[in-house]
A and B are shown apart, each in its own frame.
Chain A
Amino acid sequence: MSGFFALDQYANFIWAAYGVSVLGIAAAIVLCVQAHARAKARLANLEKEPS
């Protein structure tokens, strides 16, 4: 397993690049999904109100 992830002396750069990418993608997913959920909840709230 450790052999699979063995990298040369630039390992830090490679991990940093992948780390940043994973973090960026994860942040995007979380933010987008959260905004969607918020909008959905807000709309449901407004639609429930008696007009």
Chain B
Amino acid sequence: MTALFFRDIRLSFRAGGGAMLALAFFASVAALVPLGIGPDLKLLARIAGGVLWIAAALSALLSLDRLFQADFEDGSLDLIALAPQSLEVAAATKIAAHWLTTGLPLTVLSPLLGLLFGLPPQAYPALVLSLLLGTPAISAIGAVGASLTLSIRRGGLILPLIVLPLLSPAVIFGAGAVLAVLDGLSNGALGLLAAFSLVAVVLAPFACAAGVRLNLAG
């Protein structure tokens, strides 16, 4: 499994891999939103949490469709399925590798983008913490979608379509955490987000394994 873990990480940092692409996309969206809304820093500061959260979700989804599909196409998924470790463990490993190469870098980049939105300094910890806690959920739930759609050629937008509604609690709690700081409230958003991520990360490997199995069978 460690071999799988490091292989996934290496692959995602290559040219066609998702890591750099996701970061670039994240930055692009964050740069474009103010162009669409106007330079009113008060307004931008208010929406920063939500915008960055949605941008993070979309960016993470970018590389997810290849999570299982690449291995499916070159036959390595069959090998993984035959390995002594269970498919659930393999799925969890792939989710972890994806988060490390996509969710985590996004989280690290986010304060810089928060600057573009004039986010007040006290909100930065909430922003980073919410992304840190929430991006695992995005990787996990996204991976489930990826396992279900791996046989679809030119899947295009079907993965985001089925995954995004399922991510709404993460977006609500994640952006809500930032908003809480801005409004001077404590609303327990981070705790709820952590709980959601935990449940997602624990249950996703089982659904992923089921998704992989149904695609490998005949």
Query: In the complex, A touching B, CB below 8 Å?
Result: no
Interface residue ranges, A against B (CB under 8 Å): none
